[in-house]
Copies of this chain bind each other. A is one copy, B any other.
Amino acid sequence: MPTVTFLPGYQKAEVSPESTVLEAAQKAHITMNVVCGGNGKCGKCVVYRKSGEAEFDKEKFGIFFSPAELESGACLACQTRVLGDLLIEIPECSLIQEQQILMESRTLPTQFSPSVKKYFQTLTPPTLEDPSPDLSRLLWGIEKAGGPKAAKNFAPLDVLRSISQVLRSSDWQVTGTVGIVPGGFRLLNVEKGDTRERLYGASVDLGTTTVVVNVRSLVDGTILGAGSTYNKQISCGEDILSRVNFAQKSGLSRLQALAVESINAALIIASEAAQIDLDDVYEVVIAGNTVMTHLLLSIDPSYMISEPYVPVVRRSIYAPAGRLGIAVYPGAGVYTFPAVSNFIGGDIVADILASGMGETTDVSLLIDIGTNFEVVLGNSEWMISCAGAAGPALEGGEVLFGMRANPGAIEKIELDDDTLEPTYTTIGGGRPRGICGSGLIDLLAELFRTCVIDRTGCINTSIRNPRIREGQHYPEFVVIWKEESAIAKDIVITENDVKNLIMSKAAILAACITLMDAADITRERIIHVHLAGAFGNYANKKNAITIGLFPEVPLERITTIGNGALEGANIALLNREKRLMLDRIAHTIAYIELNAEPTFMDRYTSSCFLPHTDLALFPMVQQMLEACRVRRR
């Protein structure tokens, strides 16, 4: 079998002939940037062939390269077939870079009532007069030690197989671990001696891009460690659609394995931080979107990506960790969050749990923003939801100098009222390389506030300021002069960028208004706005309202719930009662399909303004604008 060696790290992989270089890289555990799922469409997995024989169709895929690049061996990893031993160089840009991962979550107070408990007992050894079976003896012991009624239990074969040895080798002093399940309890483990302190659980945010894990004591609920990693599925496609395409082409098993590998990698980091043994983790609660959950469970997601968008299963699933390959105690239960629909997945149900909006009669508006957005409106009595594509602009895509929240990204920015000179901070503190989502919101609001752009997003080129100029294609505003930037170029925002951003935010605002109208709720009646996800966490609330990202409410009503998926998973881990609520909530939330909603397009068009055509909906912004105008005048 040919060997492919990758520079600069000299990782090696043996692959069968005709494999692609991408497959070899995956085998060598190199996480390449494959946005399109390996279809030769995105041109992101650039590599250079240094030596050896390979097949690459320059006619078809040469478009991604200059003649000079082709000359020096450039090709796409996903479209290059290995014919013999190869030496391949991977440029840094083709690798997935470390990104700012949102690991914080609010720690909502929740009743501590985990579903797994340990009971220590000193049993009376059997005699001729009392030869009751080992299992009964143990179960009575657990009941006597304050545990659940012996009668209502399930004992898996693996535990039955170990009981007799453990009881006798421990001199009848044992700790039983039980998990509460519908209708009774499951005997999870029997250990020698008193191990009550060694009882842990893990909560997992299984994101499309990142996986974050918390490890917690299930004795007192304290957090002991956290870990995060990229979702290794990224090597099979950056977004959900490309992953489902990958699954259809190459089978589910690789994606399932990568999901599990990612969770395990984060679990190992968290357990090392916590200094615990993963074999003592007896429960794992996972919140992920509907496709991620299907992939983790190796359930076919194929019919979710095209009309009529049908998942296989929506409710919560409870499966043993050993069955899924998750590296905790093999008999530990793995609980996955239920989904509302294809588009409102377990991650959003976790957001709802984290926001507490299902436990108050106050009306709340929950917004989770990423490439896709999800909006939920309601209270403990009713909820309605919708979802849509915001486009990549708010995450830095389709914006000339937009970038993900990686080091060098401008994350906060203000403009001087008169000089338009920026004051900013970058992630990592270095020189700026581009602007990430929260920076773009700030910039848009500041450009609007300083009247550099008007309500339609047009740049006012009549303002005399060197930063405002005609670019190659569009008018543009120079944010950072090249002398100050890390990329030896002026960092600008073009009028086209501004329009892309406005279209993104308009989709979200229109979705909010659609739900409010459907429920006949005015903005005054919204007591809480919960912003979930990384974007919501880092964005400036006032600026978000200024541009009309969502309906105006008094700022103090807006809260960020941070990583709501993780926080929801934490709550469900620590309080088993909430899980019952979850299945009920997930089952009863109405879902409005925006594409089937005739009024949505009108609302979208009205939202394609800063902040909206109808300024009466944004009284605070209106006030600010008037003040600015007065000043400018």
Contact = CB atoms under 8 A, between A and B. Distances in A.
B310 A596 contact: no
A486 interface: no
B319 A157 contact: yes
A302 interface: yes
A136 interface: yes
Given A131-B341, A131-B342, A596-B128, A160 B299 contact: yes
A312 B131 CA distance: 10
B307 A128 contact: yes
Contacts of A183: 182-183
Given A300-B161, A319-B157, A314 B596 contact: no
Interface string A591-609: 0010110000000000000
Contacts of A300: 161, 164-165
Nearest to A125: B308
A127 B299 CA distance: 21
A126 B302 CA distance: 14
A160 B128 contact: no
A527 interface: no
A160 to B, nearest CB: 5
Contact of A302 (B131, B164, B182, B307): B164
Would you call the interface of chain A mostly helix, strand, loop, or mixed?
loop
A161 B247 CA distance: 13
B312 A157 contact: no
A83 interface: no
Contact of A298 (B129, B161, B308): B161
**Copies per complex?**
2
Given A157-B298, A157-B323, A183-B183, A135 B342 contact: no
A365 interface: no
A203 B161 CA distance: 24
A309 interface: yes
Contacts of A168: 303
A228 to B, nearest CB: 27
A471 to B, nearest CB: 42
A164 B155 CA distance: 32
Interface-centre pick from A168, A312, A319 (highest chain B CB count, 10 A): A312
A135 B130 CA distance: 48
A251 to B, nearest CB: 12
Interface-centre pick from A136, A155, A164, A595 (highest chain B CB count, 10 A): A164
Interface in A319-359: 319, 323, 341-342
A324 to B, nearest CB: 8
Contacts of A135: 312-315
Contacts of A202: none
A163 B128 contact: no
A133 interface: yes
A157 to B, nearest CB: 6
Interface in A403-449: none
A160 B313 contact: yes
Given A131-B309, A308-B131, A161 B341 contact: no
Contacts of A402: none
A478 interface: no
A135 B299 CA distance: 11
Given A132-B314, A133-B311, A157-B317, 5 more contacts: A128-B309, A134-B312, A157-B297, A157-B298, A164-B310
17 contacts: A128-B307, A128-B595, A129-B596, A133-B311, A133-B312, A133-B313, A134-B303, A134-B312, A135-B312, A135-B314, A135-B315, A157-B297, A157-B319, A160-B312, A160-B317, A161-B297, A182-B183
Interface of A: 126-136, 155, 157, 160-161, 163-165, 168, 182-183, 297-300, 302-303, 307-315, 317, 319, 323, 341-342, 593, 595-596
Across the A-B interface, the 9 shortest Cβ-Cβ residue pairs: A133-B314, A135-B313, A183-B183, A131-B308, A126-B310, A134-B312, A164-B300, A128-B308, A133-B311
